[in-house]
Amino acid sequence: MKVMMLAAGRGERMGSLTENCPKPLLKVAGRSLIEHHILALKNQGFSEFVINVAYLGDQIMVALGNGERFGVQIDYSDEGAQALETGGGIQHALPLLGKAPFLVVNADIWTDISYTDFNIKANNSMHLVLVKNPEHNQAGDFYLNEDQVVQHGGERLTYSGVGIFTPALFSQQTAAIFPLAPLIHDAISRGEVGGQLHSGVWVDVGTPQRLDDVEAVLNASQ
């Protein structure tokens, strides 16, 4: 299965840290966020990556190259100066992702998710990994009822930024720039979204404080 890594965002909440550096290249414990992801995924058997880039994307492409030094293959979906948002970014990368379901991972999270522990059911268009609601998103995003994401009932949880998606989900989209969330809600209404709860470590590294929190956790574990 190919991996689509979302790395095109501006990272405005990081303030001066991302003025001259794209957020996926911010370092924790001596490595960039995106390098940590690539190595974790490679150790779990993933070898083909597609990374979308926009803001300071040339830095990401120079830093990671073709993936050879990590023992993987990396292709880039370059969105130019205007990032296409999460949904548009995935749609733009479809020619590189192929026709099979693919794994999507946000580059600006930190997690110990085991990516081999979930898969997409034949009758679903996606499978989402959800987490307990963090302090900054206490209302949550979606409801989980056993192994299905539903509109109401069950437990309301936060989308982790990790999921498996089918290319057909994006086939009817005509806009170039659009978020992923409306597509998820539409698929939920059709009963096509599987899901599971990840109870391990997960951090949305959206602020300098959360970046420091991840640094502290990693340094303590060494």
Give the fold, CATH level 3, of 3-221. Spore Coat Polysaccharide Biosynthesis Protein SpsA; Chain A (3.90.550)
- b/e per residue, 8-41, with b = 16+ CB within 10 A? bbebeebeeebeebbbbbbebeeebbbbbbbebb
Indicate the pTM of the whole model: 0.95
Give residue-wise pLDDT tens across range 106-147. Answer: 999 999 999 999 999 989 999 999 999 999 999 999 999 999
At 222 the pLDDT is 59
Instruction: Give the chain's mean pLDDT.
Output: 94
Cα–Cα–Cα angle for 183, 184, 189, rounded to 5 degrees: 100
Answer yes or no: are the C-beta atoms of 176 and 88 closer than 8 Å.
yes
DSSP state letter for 134: P
| Annotated domain spans of the chain | 3-221
pLDDT in tens, 32-47: 999 999 999 999 999 9
Mean pLDDT of 64-81: 96
Dihedral pair phi/psi, residue 220, rounded to 5°: -70, -25
